[in-house]
DNA sequence: CAAGTAACCTACTCCGAGTAAGCTTGACCC
DNA sequence: GGGTCAAGCTTACTCGGAGTAGGTTACTTG
């Protein structure tokens, strides 16, 4: 099997088994065996067990960034952009449940500094997107308020995503709606302080 | 040294070194050596490395529950109660930075199922407190809305707490105020849906 | 066909979690 | 005093998993 294909297989298997049994409880030998190869191949391609996890996270991160970026194309207003971004986010976390719970339940911090940095980068990316968005419709709000609000939204989304994937009766649209209702009015009031 | 005292010492050392170098990168031998004893003593008292982490988390969880519970005594309204609870929460995360980052950056999920369950219990506790509070002033709102809102608040608090402990210019009161401004109006609007 | 390289293997080393078995010191009882 | 029991502690292991050294096979390319 060519390298690129084998790497994808390894990442898919790793994502599945890490999410299922946890990072610590999973041995590299396990993953290798499920792929039908031996352990040194994984070290050849990913350098370390943590490197394999980082690759999984990075791939998911790239896909999330792509999905949310594309979703806001053609938005009619800041509110519309925020809502579209939220829907895309919740859809992503729903279709990539394994990768997402991997990030959040987060084996990452425990796995090592590189994996932890990858997760922090993901959050920082989301925070920056939100700050930019808020600034666009609240140009007079102080920077510290925008940043705090962005962290509030990012945290709210993280938790709500984990909650709603555990419920079959809540859709991505409803989750996005909920964040909008809960936060939108408050966000707008920031400019009055 | 008597057992109770030794246990406290071990937990203090573990909290420090886990938060500093990470759970995986820390060996039980390290912790034992810093305590001036040998490894089997830790196994005698805590059963496993994960057991030691669970003990640290549980202690912090108990303290947090105590602090937030006490803070709302004598509150004049639901809004006052929520604000007092938030301030107590942010003060806790500030004074117990090590324990808090231990929980959230969360070595826990990686450490094993018992530690992960401990963290989930902590979040569930917070969610239930919030649901009860919201119900008290929004008796007509559907249960699913209350629960979703509680997850939003818990997630927002988690993220904001990690952000604000990294900034010296933000106080617990300001962080609590921020959550109140961002969320309070939206919360109240839920009843109109 | 020779040479190189991609994909793969077996067979290790080493470290850290967890354990077996026993030592020491002091309290308490007769 | 001596016997006994327990708490606190130790040394000296086992065992499993991360990571590595070095070699083999097979396909491509000059």
Over residues B148-164, the pLDDT tens digits come to: 989 999 899 888 988 88
Query: What structural domains does chain B harbor?
Result: 59-192 (1.10.357.10)
Maximum C-alpha span of chain A: 62
Cβ-Cβ contacts under 8 Å between A and B: the total is 139
Contact at CB, A185 and B186, closer than 8 angstroms: yes
Indicate the residue of B112, B169, B179 with minimum beta-carbon distance to A152.
Answer: B179
| Sign (positive or negative) of CA dihedral B115, B120, B126, B129 | negative
Q: Does residue A193 carry a pLDDT above 60?
A: no
* CA–CA separation, B189 and A185 (whole Å): 9
Q: Does residue A104 carry a pLDDT above 70?
A: no
A142 touches chain B (CB under 8 A): no
A24 within 8 A of B48, measured Cβ to Cβ:
no
Provide, as residue numbers in chain A, all residues whose Cβ is less than 8 Å from the Cβ of B24.
Answer: 24, 110-112
Indicate the residue of B169, B170, B186 with minimum beta-carbon distance to A181.
Answer: B186
ipTM over 0.85: no
Contact at CB, B159 and A158, closer than 8 angstroms: yes
Output the six-digit token pair for A49: 């067990």
Q: Which residues of chain B have pLDDT under 70?
A: 102-113, 188-193
* CA–CA separation, A26 and B161 (whole Å): 32
* CA–CA separation, B111 and B25 (whole Å): 11
* CA–CA separation, B151 and B33 (whole Å): 41
CB atoms < 10 A from the CB of A130, how many?
22
* CA–CA separation, A36 and B147 (whole Å): 44
* CA–CA separation, B192 and A49 (whole Å): 51
Tokens 């094993």 found at: B112
Taking each continuous run of H as one helix and of E as one strand, the counts in chain B are 10, 0
Q: What is the pLDDT of residues A25-84, one digit of tens each?
A: 899 999 999 999 999 999 999 999 999 988 998 898 899 989 998 998 998 888 898 899
Cα distances from A27 to residues A30, A32, A103, in angstroms, run: 5, 9, 19
Q: Testing the interface with B: which of A159, A161, A164, A169 to mutate, by most B Cβ within 10 A?
A: A159
Q: Which of residues 31-90 of B touch A (CB under 8 A)?
A: none
B181 touches chain A (CB under 8 A): yes
């Amino acid at each position: 099997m060519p390298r690129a294909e084998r790497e994808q297989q390894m990442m898919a298997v790793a994502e599945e088994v890490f999410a299922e049994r946890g990072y610590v409880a999973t041995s590299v030998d396990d993953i290798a065996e499920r792929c039908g190869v031996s352990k040194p191949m994984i070290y050849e391609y990913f350098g370390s067990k943590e490197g394999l996890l980082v690759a999984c996270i990075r791939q998911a991160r790239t896909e999330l960034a792509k999905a949310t970026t594309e979703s806001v194309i053609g938005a009619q207003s800041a509110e519309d952009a925020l809502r579209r971004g939220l829907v895309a986010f919740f859809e992503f976390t729903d279709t990539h449940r394994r990768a997402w719970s991997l990030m959040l339940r987060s084996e990452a911090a425990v796995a090592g500094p590189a994996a932890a940095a990858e997760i922090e980068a993901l959050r920082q990316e989301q925070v920056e997107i939100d700050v930019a968005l808020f600034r666009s419709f609240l140009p007079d709000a102080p920077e510290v308020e925008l940043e705090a609000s962005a962290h509030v939204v990012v945290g709210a989304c993280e938790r709500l995503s984990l909650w709603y994937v555990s419920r079959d009766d809540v859709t991505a649209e409803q989750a996005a709606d909920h964040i909008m209702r809960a936060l939108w009015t408050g966000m707008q009031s920031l400019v009055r302080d």
